[in-house]
Structures are given as C-alpha cells and as structure tokens.
Amino acid sequence: MRLGVLGGTFNPVHLGHLRLAEEAMRQLMLDKVIFVPAYVSPFASIDDSAPAQDRLAMLKKALKTFNFFEVSTYELDKKDTSYAIDTIKHFKKCLKANDSLYFIAGGDIADRLNEWKDIGELCELCTFVIAKRSGFNKIFNGNAVEYIDIDAIDISSSEIRDLIKNNDDFKSTVPPEVFKYINEKKLYR
C-alpha cells in the first residue's frame, strides 16, 4: 500500500486542500490519502479557530464523495499540540513492512520546515512531499524531500476566515457542503 497523510488545521477545509490531495494521489500513485486534522497546531493561532468538532464535521462533509480519501481523528483524540512526527509514527505502526508512507504538505510550509519538531527523523520515517506552486522556488536542503508540481488554487484558510469576517463572498473557495455548514453554524464571524 502507498499511503498519503495530509495534516493541517483545516480551519476551514477548502478546495486547495482537496486539489493538493488529488494531485498527490495521482502523481505519487497513492492508494489512499488520510486527512489528519490537528487538535492544536504548533504554528497556527487558535484565536479565530473553529472548534475541533466543527472542523472535523466540515472535513467529513468535504470528503464524502471521494472514495480514496479518509479522515483520521488521531490528533484530535490526543487533545494536545499536534506534531507531524507523532502522527507519522502512529501511521507507520499500522503499515506492513513493504508499504510506503508519504507526508504531504503545501509549498507554503517550506520556509518553516527547520522549525518542525524532529524534522530529520520525520524525513527518515516517510517520504516528505511538498507541493510546488507556480512561482515556488524554495528548495529545502536539510533533509530528503520530494516535490510534486501542482497548479494550486490560490487560497488559504486564513484568507477565507477574513472573507467571512468581512461579509465577503467565499462560496467559490470551499466545497458546497462546507459553505452551507459555515453559514448554518455562523462560524468565523
């Protein structure tokens, strides 16, 4: 099995996340991509974060029509700061010896990789994959990293939260089910 793990706060999950998972699956010939929402990210502010149960609900709604995408509550269940190294160790234990594990990340994290907990060990336990966006030219020299080319949707969760706070239209940035959920729950207002 070739398993991809895509972590993040998914605050909220958006079309860029889905595009990244689809492209990683296609280019790396993965059998499955598991989305792992963080309980608390060591890098993200929780000031305007939706509660974990809402972020999980939105993620489940966004992935409902994708056969090869799943959600893991591993990091949410720990109820602590989420570190990729712990998550990869968890999934590594679940795999067989000849299975391959890929940790998928967007190009926006490349500048901060040296700040990640145990990044060297993380890169030894799995294939660390960074999606290159147009205009991306950062090369991470510290550890073995594989790159995939992707025409990413130019949006971030923080930009979506700002759109919502300003009562601007954000319908084209998230799956329809997520748009409906955010409005019904009045999230990020």
Give residue 147's pLDDT band: very low, low, confident or very high (50, 70, 90).
confident
* Residue matched to tokens 């309980």: 39
Share above pLDDT 90 across residues of the chain, in percent, rounded to a whole number: 69
Full-model pTM? 0.91
Map out the domains of the chain with their CATH numbers.
Answer: 2-154 (3.40.50.620)
The mean pLDDT value for 122-129 works out to 90
pLDDT for 46: 62
- Whole-number Å distance between alpha carbons of 11 and 18: 14
DSSP H helical ranges for 5-104: 15-28, 52-63, 74-78, 84-94
> What pLDDT is attached to residue 45?
64
Compute CA 72 distance to the chain's CA centroid, rounded to the nearest angstrom. 12
Mapped onto helix, strand or coil, the DSSP state of residue 179 is helix
Per-residue pLDDT band at 133 (split at 50, 70, 90): low
72 close to 107: Cβ distance less than 8 angstroms: no
CA-based nearest residue to 7, from 83, 58, 60, 81: 83
| Amino acid 149: pLDDT | 83
Return the structure tokens found at 25: 């699956």
